[in-house]
Amino acid sequence: MNATLSPQNILIIGATSGIAEAVARRYASIGANLFLVARNSKKLAIISSDLIARGATNVQLFVLNAHEYDLLPQMVEQAWAAFGIINVALIAYGTLPDQTRAETDLDYAITEFRTNAESVIACLTILANRFETQGYGVISVIGSVASDRGRGSNYVYGSAKSAIESFTSGLRSRLYKKGVHVLLIKPGFVATAMTANLNLPEKLTASPESVAINIQNAISHRKNVVYTPSFWAFIMLIIKLIPNIIFKRLSL
C-alpha cells in the first residue's frame, strides 16, 4: 500500500490546538482513522464527536500532559494497537512564552523551553523508533519561523524551536534510510487561541484552515520543510540577511 499518499491512520499529539484540529478535520473528511492525544479530556471528547460527524471512520483518544514522558511508550503502543499501522504522526502542541517574564523568572523560562523543545524531542524519539520498526510513514512536527533567527522579542520561544529544527534535520537523515520521512512545519502568524491576545498584522496572519491545507499537501508530497503561508520563506530570508550590526538595533 502507499503509506504516505493516501494516509488513513493519523496520530496527532496536541490535538486540541487550533492547527491540529483543522488538520484533523481535513483527514476526517476523507474517512481517516484518528488517534488524538492531548491533556484536556473534555476538549478531546468534543473534538472526537465533531470529527466523527465530519466523516472520520474511527477516533481514539489518549490523555497526556507534555511532560509525562513515562506515558509516551504506552501512548505509542495504544496508537499502533488501535489501527495496526500509523501512516502519519503530527506533533502540534506548544506554548508561546511571555518573553519579558522569562528574562527574570528562571523557572518559568526553563519550563517553557522544556515544553517547546525537550518534550517534543522526547515525542520524536519515541515515534522515530516505532516508525523505524514499521519501515514507512511520515513524522511531522510544527516548528516556527521564529527558529530562523533569534530575536529580542521572543528568543526563548525561538531558541526552543531552533532545537526542534536541528533535531528534525538529523532525524530526517537517520530515518530516510529506513523509509520514514520527517517533515518540519514552520508557520508564521496564525489566528489561534495561542495568539488571541497578540496584535497580529492582519495581512500576515493565516487561518488554521489554510495552514492545515499546506500541512496536508506537504505530508503528501514528502517535503522536508514547509513555510506556511509560503511567503514567510521570503520574509525570513530577508530577516536572516540583515547584518548583526543593524539587527541588534531593531525592535523585532
Spatial distance between the Cα atoms of 219 and 78, rounded to a whole number of angstroms: 23
Q: Compute the average pLDDT of residues 210-220.
A: 97
The reported pLDDT for the residue numbered 4 is 44
Which residue numbers are catalytic?
A: 157
In a domain, 3, yes or no: no
Cβ neighbours of residue 173 closer than 8 Å, sequence gap 6 or more: none
Say whether pLDDT at 51 is over 50. Answer: yes
Angle at 16 between CA 38 and CA 19, to 5 degrees: 130
The reported pLDDT for the residue numbered 2 is 44
The reported pLDDT for the residue numbered 34 is 98
For 137-149, how does the pLDDT look when each residue is reduced to its tens digit (9 = 90+)?
A: 999 999 999 999 9
In a domain, 189, yes or no: yes
For 160-192, how does the pLDDT look when each residue is reduced to its tens digit (9 = 90+)?
A: 999 999 999 999 999 999 999 999 999 999 998
In a domain, 103, yes or no: yes
Please tell me the pTM assigned to this model: 0.94
For the chain, percent of residues with pLDDT exceeding 90: 92
Say whether pLDDT at 251 is over 90. Answer: no
| Cis before 229? omega within 30 | yes
Q: Compute the average pLDDT of residues 146-153.
A: 96
C-alpha cell at 126: 519515541
Q: Compute the average pLDDT of residues 116-132.
A: 98
In a domain, 16, yes or no: yes
In a domain, 109, yes or no: yes
The reported pLDDT for the residue numbered 197 is 83
In a domain, 4, yes or no: no
The reported pLDDT for the residue numbered 7 is 56
User: Total domain count for the chain?
Assistant: 1
Q: Compute the average pLDDT of residues 93-122.
A: 97
Range of the domain at 190: 9-248
In a domain, 140, yes or no: yes
The reported pLDDT for the residue numbered 6 is 53
In a domain, 2, yes or no: no
CATH of the domain at 178: 3.40.50.720
